[in-house]
Amino acid sequence: MQASFWQQKWQNNELGFHLPEPHPKLVRHIKRLGLKPGDRVFLPLCGKSLDIAWLLQQGFRVVGAEWVQQAVEQLFTELDVEPVISRQGELRRYSAQQLDIFVGDIFTLDAETLGAVDAVYDRAALVALPTDKRALYSRHLATISGCAPQLLISFEYDQSQLSGPPFSVPPEEVRGHYQDMFSLELLESKAIKGGLKGKCPADEQAWLLSAKSQ
């Protein structure tokens, strides 16, 4: 799945994945990440999520990565903030107080460019990627974040009933991607009222990933 797929979604305003409020699982489980005000939270494939504004309001610094420039422009407009835009290699960086968003291919984002992060919140990245990209992504994310603790949101459903994204990433696959690097705890698994996109039964799950001791 290429960036062009998501660019087309934004151009057509097909934004069913964009929630009208901060994600309830983020609000419920943020404390499990052990963060303090001023800590820096990384949101891969962040779009213009309202989770960003909520995290800023809690006193955290936020850094994101996003394929679609239009999404990032809308984010800053809705935050009523004028970004400083600079070039970082193949990426463009949109910066404001306490906030940095990198626009471009997340696989070209390295640890030095990203900078130190204290936690990762993955609501829409792993589940947005097709099977052949998820293992590469999970390793890349752990590398550039220094195995920072993660709050991960995933879905489990019969993939034959819905093509995705979001894709079904069942618990055994989540463990397969992360268990070598992290200790995993399933914080919550709850059926989605009305089904995923109103089309098929699905569970939404929240995971806590904590780096294993060396």
Residues contributing to the annotated binding site for S-adenosyl-L-methionine? 10, 45, 66, 123
Query: What amino acid occupies position 117?
Result: V
- Token pair for 186: 């399933």
- Token pair for 201: 């039964």
Going across the sheet that includes 61-66, the strands are 84-88, 91-96, 99-103, 61-66, 40-44, 119-122, 150-157, 202-211, 182-191
DSSP character for 9?
Answer: H
Binding-site members are 10, 45, 66, 123
Residue 74: Cβ within 10 Å count = 16
Reference 109, options 100, 96, 118; nearest CA is 100
- Token pair for 202: 């699905």
CA 154, distance to chain mean position in Å, is: 10
